[in-house]
Structure 1
């Protein structure tokens, strides 16, 4: 099967149907708010929002229609094996063709403009995507794509923390960013936290963190515990689904980190709304 066809098919599915892990998190939130609804008006309001979300998802799947009017911008993460026989230019062409085909076939809203400040003329095809290239071992190829809506993207942020700030500075910064966002990113939300590198790398890492299966915690115990601490702090905000109050503000927190300078602690937070849409395409040496 042609690589571009795989990309198109996965994107057509992603814009209509959430993966099972994301659905599990939404259902868990629904159960928690349902149990608290009798004693909490905030939970009653959140429960109404979650009911609407679940109904919307059922309708989107049944009618093969996008689950949200903002079908997102293509953020593409390409892990290329060092021995991969495909040329980068060939891979890029397949990505562009696959994304363009999905836009045509799955009723994607045209949401990309050529330049950001002046005419802001729409490209009419949601291209170009944002592509990051990463070398890995092996000869295979993995392409992961986030469909990034900008109600949530506009609430993302970068902070340059004191290098001695430690856990508490990180937790406080994430809490402040989410608190300032309130209901704007369409909670309940998924939160990617990037730590280390430089300012731009932290932002990249926060996006990569969102790619992790939401049923999986960080492989390192101390970072998995930090994810739990951040999540617990965010639930205390009481923003709730739709920003209407309740027990659950965030559905998952994922951290990605890398080495950094002795004088810095870069932190970035990328927020995804409940419509946590992503696609993964793995190529292991078959025909492109």
Structure 2
């Protein structure tokens, strides 16, 4: 049995929160640089500004965007690992320190409907835990701004709508997002499972490196076709038209009920902030 002290997560999460709000993931920045080659005129100028902003943020240790997001933590916990101490509480403490000590904007409100008081430290984060075999322990952190989160959608399609129904829903959601999601976007698509699980899949899909497609060739082909169709919408960088509306479409799927075809689309801005902690 492998022993891990929950308290040791706090500085790791604190530092990861600082990094993911200041530095692009290498694959995301590479995708932006590649997309820049396709753009001319004002869309090319916009891409230059985005890349310049990325360089300034990294050099000056400043947030890439003023909306430093609500944090989601995906914990992968091996069944042969024993956590000493409160895991969830220490994850929340790490996020709180990450946002206060790195001078990041606190965006979390304690109650969603009535008082909406700011918690002051960007907690509570959303925590998902997946139990697997072995003694692995990882935490994937995502900081998701709500300019893009608000443009996400979920639909309970009928099985008869099939592939065409999924395509239409995904492309309609991207078109509706338009400039509000700070394109070029990264689009996560969750297909199958249940109402709630499809949404989980759609957001988790955003963690996959942009250089990787779904390992199932059918879903990889769907990702490519959706990307091509999305980039024909002429929304373009920051909504100013152009060839690059979406950098990548990432799909995840799960078995579902014979009477259902849940599909969720999680829209993400071009920054797509995430960090992985491995112990």
Q: Indicate whether the TM-score tops 0.5.
A: yes
CA drift at 1:91: 2.0
| Runs of 4+ more than 3 Å apart | none
The unaligned stretches of length 5 or more in structure 2 are 1-6
- Paired with 1:124 and 1:133, the residues of 2 have a C-alpha distance of 25
Give the TM-score normalised by structure 2: 0.95
CA drift at 1:85: 1.3
CA drift at 1:82: 1.2
**Aligned CA-pair RMSD:** 1.2
- Paired with 2:131 and 2:242, the residues of 1 have a C-alpha distance of 43
Secondary structure in structure 1 of the residue aligned to 2:105: coil
The unaligned stretches of length 5 or more in structure 1 are 38-43, 284-288
Partners of 2:97 and 2:121 within 8 A in 1: no
- For residues 176-255 of structure 1, the aligned pairs below 5 Å read 176-255=172-251
Does 2:102 align with 1:102? Answer: no
- Paired with 1:163 and 1:84, the residues of 2 have a C-alpha distance of 40
Q: Which residue of 2 aligns with 1:26?
A: 32
Does 2:56 align with 1:59? Answer: yes
- For residues 155-194 of structure 1, the aligned pairs below 5 Å read 155-194=151-190
Does 2:49 align with 1:16? Answer: no
Secondary structure in structure 1 of the residue aligned to 2:276: strand
Q: Which residue of 1 aligns with 2:78?
A: 81
Partners of 1:206 and 1:255 within 8 A in 2: yes
The alignment of Structure 1 onto Structure 2 pairs a total of residues equal to: 273
Secondary structure in structure 2 of the residue aligned to 1:75: strand
Secondary structure in structure 2 of the residue aligned to 1:2: helix
- Paired with 1:228 and 1:166, the residues of 2 have a C-alpha distance of 18
Q: Which residue of 1 aligns with 2:147?
A: 151
Q: Which residue of 2 aligns with 1:6?
A: 12
Deviation per residue, 1:20-43 (Å, 9 max, x gap): 10001101110111xxx2xxxxxx
CA drift at 1:214: 0.9
Partners of 1:66 and 1:106 within 8 A in 2: no
